[in-house]
């Protein structure tokens, strides 16, 4: 197992390196970070543009810039992913990309993690019910809901949920929080009050973000549960006279949960996509908002850093899923 | 010789025999299986109706998506304006027609490009095997490392100034062909071990002939299904891009843009918010069901009976 873990860890490194080349080239070649400055009216002094080019390392060739971006050797000390520095920003020398990402990371993390957990939990419950009651009304209803959730754009359902909250607040006097990740003024809050405040702000966005992941996962859970329920050892357990609930819980569900680890890792990528949209709708100042800001200001190093960060999260998730698979499924032995 | 003809002529076929020998080629059998799939057929009809609405509708309907002085501002649905009107004085039905048309153009182009590139990529990788396969599929892995919508947004953000529908389509298809290529490679890996490919080789067929004439036609089922999935994904991706402001730009419109403009309206002016959303759901849902039906219909192991 230790050898296998090491091997998988080492195999992830070339993938990430190749992904870094891809991210760098895509962003570096497709846009000019100083494009807005060059066409600004009234025209900007060429000397200013030249000094900006030097600050953004645009005076160097593409391969040189990539090496610099990765290692930071030969830079001004503000660049080099391996040293944990993301590079200069077009938004001025004072704008520290790393600090900005760090400040926003936790906000987005709690949204994504809670939405994923809820999606997985709900998917297991509804997948099992669908499988056990196959072709019943409940099954058809859940299946239809799943298909609908898959076909609904995240921003549409997000906007609907948000405006639903606003409407309920106005008409029914409920207290849904619909803007931001926390109240605008949190001075004087006790730890408990901060916690409940954050939880209240999480409720609607999480609901919106959860739906897409839930839809995909519940389909897989239903299929894998059905497969197990039709297998020989479940039939044997039933033949021995084991009670139905015990068969489903202890014999079938345990095995049917294993494939879900892999699928959950895949759903993480979709949830990151969704978080960008949900943050925009609920006006969270999280990583998704930072990404959109960076894309619209052509802040190339911010965008590259963001792409790498999400790539690392996805690769890590896949790695963890693969390793968990070995732990959960005794039929798999890594040589 | 002529006098021998009548005697040699085959006896006229018996009625029962005529039925059993009715010609059944692959396509006809698939079509029959598809037609038995009630949900898939209904979905196909609905999808065709949506396409007709988007492409023929603007020719028949008296308003387009632009502002017109004759249109009253912000009125709920009525006979003259079945989907209502906007504050600026646009007919929502005209807008939805134009939006659906632009979104469908993007989605169908994406499906075409990603299916072509993906199947060629997958078939070549699967056929050659070895280091070629390794290199090509690692490339696919690397693209799939970063979440797709993030990649697409990052690229689209750099395409400035009046992004047209084909630019959006190109950006989306630049990344989503990877899914198709994985599917096709899997199919080709099993196909290439079969005797008919061996026979082709023995007859001296070139690799390109094997890929184009034998591997891709035999993988048609999974390829078509991947194509329908690409349509559904592209509709959602285009809408998300336009919603974020990196897709199709005003004065042109798309379904995502219409929702973005009506984001705060679901409870105050629902006629602005629901129609574009319903059309997105309709397209994504029906095309998924059509794909499902096709998967069953094109699977040669399926029997004629419906499950």
pLDDT band (50, 70, 90) for residue A121: very high
| Average pLDDT of span B125-146 | 87
pLDDT confidence of residue B3: 46
**Rounded distance, CA A283 to CA B69, Å?**
35
Could you say which of B147, B264, B288 has the minimum Cβ distance to residue A310? B147
| Summary mean pLDDT of chain B | 80
Instruction: Search chain A and give the residue with CA nearest B276.
Output: A156
pLDDT band (50, 70, 90) for residue B2: very low
Q: Do A310 and B285 touch (CB under 8 A)?
A: no
pLDDT confidence of residue B4: 45
Name which residue leads in pLDDT, A199 or B201.
Answer: B201
| Average pLDDT of span B240-245 | 85
pLDDT band (50, 70, 90) for residue A332: low
**Measured between beta carbons, which residues in chain B are less than 8 angstroms from residue A26?**
151, 154-155
Fold of A100-296: MetI-like fold (1.10.3720)
Name which residue leads in pLDDT, A96 or B136.
Answer: B136
Phi (first) and psi of residue A80, to 5 degrees: 120, 95
Q: Tell me whether A320 touches chain B (CB under 8 Å).
A: no
| Percent of all residues in chain B with a pLDDT value above 70, rounded to a whole number | 84
**Measured between beta carbons, which residues in chain A are less than 8 angstroms from residue B289?**
147
Q: Tell me whether A326 touches chain B (CB under 8 Å).
A: no
- Rounded to 10 deg, the angle between the B148-158 and B165-191 helix axes is 140
Could you say which of A22, A167, A303 has the minimum Cβ distance to residue B267? A167
pLDDT band (50, 70, 90) for residue B48: very high
pLDDT confidence of residue B114: 92
Q: Is residue B69 part of a domain?
A: no
Q: How far is A281 from chain B (nearest CA, A)?
A: 9
Domain count, chain B: 1
pLDDT confidence of residue B302: 55
| Two tokens, residue A323 | 């390793």
Q: How far is A308 from chain B (nearest CA, A)?
A: 8
Instruction: Search chain B and give the residue with CA nearest A281.
Output: B263
| CA-based nearest residue to B128, from B192, B190, B213, B36 | B192
Could you say which of A147, A153, A163 has the minimum Cβ distance to residue B239? A153
| CA-based nearest residue to A300, from A74, A25, A21, A18 | A25
pLDDT confidence of residue B109: 93
**Measured between beta carbons, which residues in chain B are less than 8 angstroms from residue A296?**
157, 245-246
Q: Do B259 and A155 touch (CB under 8 A)?
A: yes
pLDDT confidence of residue B158: 66
Burial A215-237 (b: 16+ CB within 10 A, else e): bbbbbbbbebbbebbeeeebeeb
pLDDT band (50, 70, 90) for residue B118: very high
Domain at B114, CATH number? 1.10.3720.10
Phi (first) and psi of residue A266, to 5 degrees: -70, -35
pLDDT tens, residue by residue, A268-319: 888 888 888 898 888 888 888 888 888 888 888 888 888 888 888 888 888 8
Is the pLDDT confidence value at A82 over 70?
Answer: yes
Q: Which domain holds residue B249?
A: 32-59+89-298
| Two tokens, residue A131 | 């499988």
**ipTM of predicted assembly, 2 dp:** 0.81
Characterize the bridge pairing of strands A79-80 and A85-86.
Answer: antiparallel
Q: How far is B10 from chain A (nearest CA, A)?
A: 53
Instruction: Search chain B and give the residue with CA nearest A19.
Output: B142
Phi (first) and psi of residue A2, to 5 degrees: -65, -40
pLDDT confidence of residue B29: 77
Q: Is residue B74 part of a domain?
A: no
Q: Is residue B94 part of a domain?
A: yes
Q: Is residue B206 part of a domain?
A: yes
Q: What angle do CA A30, A34, A40 make, to 5 degrees?
A: 125
**What Rg, from alpha-carbon coordinates, does chain A have?**
24
**Could you tell me the CA-to-CA distances from A293 to A100, B150, B153, B225, B246 in Å, in that order?**
12, 13, 12, 36, 12
Q: Is residue B66 part of a domain?
A: no
Of the listed ranges A141-145, A232-236, B100-104, B163-167, the one predicted with least confidence: B163-167
Phi (first) and psi of residue A319, to 5 degrees: -60, -50
Q: Do B138 and A296 touch (CB under 8 A)?
A: no
**Measured between beta carbons, which residues in chain B are less than 8 angstroms from residue A307?**
146, 150-151, 154
Q: Is residue B164 part of a domain?
A: yes
Q: Do B158 and A156 touch (CB under 8 A)?
A: no
Residue B246 near residue B157 (C-beta atoms within 8 A): yes
**Measured between beta carbons, which residues in chain B are less than 8 angstroms from residue A273?**
147-150, 240
Q: Is residue B23 part of a domain?
A: no
Q: Is residue B99 part of a domain?
A: yes
pLDDT tens, residue by residue, A125-162: 999 998 888 888 988 899 888 888 888 888 888 888 88
Of the listed ranges A295-299, B158-162, B218-222, the one predicted with least confidence: B158-162
Domain positions in chain A: 2-83, 100-296
């Amino acid at each position: 197992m230790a050898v296998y873990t090491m091997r998988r860890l080492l195999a992830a490194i070339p993938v990430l390196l190749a992904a870094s080349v891809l991210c760098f080239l895509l962003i570096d070649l497709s846009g000019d970070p100083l494009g807005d400055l060059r066409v600004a009216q009234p025209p900007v002094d060429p000397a200013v543009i030249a000094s900006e080019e030097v600050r953004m390392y645009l005076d160097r060739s593409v391969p040189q810039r990539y090496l610099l971006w990765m290692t930071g050797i030969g830079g001004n000390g503000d660049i080099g992913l391996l040293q944990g520095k993301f590079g200069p920003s077009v938004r001025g020398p004072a704008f520290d990309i790393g600090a900005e990402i760090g400040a926003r990371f936790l906000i987005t993390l709690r949204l994504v993690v809670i939405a994923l957990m809820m999606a997985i939990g709900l998917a297991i419950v509804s997948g099992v019910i669908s499988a056990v009651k196959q072709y019943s009304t409940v099954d058809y209803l859940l299946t239809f809901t799943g298909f609908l959730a898959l076909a609904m754009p995240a921003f549409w359902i997000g906007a609907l949920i948000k405006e639903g909250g606003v409407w309920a607040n106005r008409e029914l006097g409920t207290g849904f929080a619909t803007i931001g990740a926390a109240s605008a003024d949190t001075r004087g809050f006790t730890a408990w009050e901060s916690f409940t405040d954050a939880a209240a702000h999480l409720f609607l966005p999480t609901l919106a973000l959860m739906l897409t992941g839930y839809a995909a996962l519940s389909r897989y859970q239903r299929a894998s549960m059905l497969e197990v329920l039709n297998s020989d050892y479940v039939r044997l357990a039933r033949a021995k006279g084991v009670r139905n609930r015990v068969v489903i819980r202890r014999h079938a569900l345990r095995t049917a949960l294993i494939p879900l680890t892999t699928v959950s890792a895949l759903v993480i990528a979709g949830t990151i996509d969704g978080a960008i949209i949900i943050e925009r709708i609920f006006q969270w100042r999280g990583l998704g908002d930072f990404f959109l800001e960076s894309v619209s200001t052509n802040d190339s190093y911010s965008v590259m850093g963001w792409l790498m960060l999400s790539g690392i999260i996805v690769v890590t998730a896949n790695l963890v899923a693969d390793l968990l698979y070995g732990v959960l499924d005794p039929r798999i032995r890594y040589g | 010789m002529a006098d021998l003809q009548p005697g040699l002529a085959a006896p006229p076929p018996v009625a029962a025999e005529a039925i059993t020998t009715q010609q059944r080629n692959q396509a006809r059998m698939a079509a029959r299986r598809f037609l038995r799939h009630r949900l898939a057929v209904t979905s196909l009809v609905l999808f065709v109706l949506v396409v007709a609405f988007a492409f023929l509708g603007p020719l028949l309907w008296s308003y387009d998506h632009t502002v017109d002085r004759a249109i009253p501002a912000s009125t709920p649905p009525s006979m003259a304006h079945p989907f209502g009107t906007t504050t600026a004085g646009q007919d929502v039905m005209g807008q939805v027609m134009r939006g659906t048309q632009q979104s469908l153009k993007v989605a169908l182009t994406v499906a075409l490009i990603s299916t072509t590139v993906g199947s060629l990529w997958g078939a070549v990788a699967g056929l050659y095997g070895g280091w070629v396969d390794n290199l090509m599929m690692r490339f696919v892995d690397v693209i799939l490392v970063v979440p797709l919508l993030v990649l697409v947004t990052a690229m689209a953000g750099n395409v400035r100034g009046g992004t047209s529908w084909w630019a959006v389509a190109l950006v989306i298809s630049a990344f989503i062909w990877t899914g198709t290529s994985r599917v096709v490679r899997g199919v080709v890996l099993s196909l290439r071990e079969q005797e008919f490919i061996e026979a082709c080789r023995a007859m001296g067929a070139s690799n390109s002939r094997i890929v184009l004439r034998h591997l891709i036609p035999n993988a048609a089922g999974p390829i078509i299904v991947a194509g329908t999935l690409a349509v559904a994904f592209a509709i959602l991706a285009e809408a998300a891009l336009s919603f974020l402001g990196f897709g199709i730009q005003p004065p042109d419109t798309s379904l995502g843009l219409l929702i973005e403009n009506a984001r705060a309206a679901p409870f105050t002016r629902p006629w602005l918010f629901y129609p574009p959303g319903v059309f997105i759901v309709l397209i994504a849902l029906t095309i998924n069901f059509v794909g499902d039906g096709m998967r069953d219909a094109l699977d040669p192991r399926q029997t004629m009976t419906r499950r």
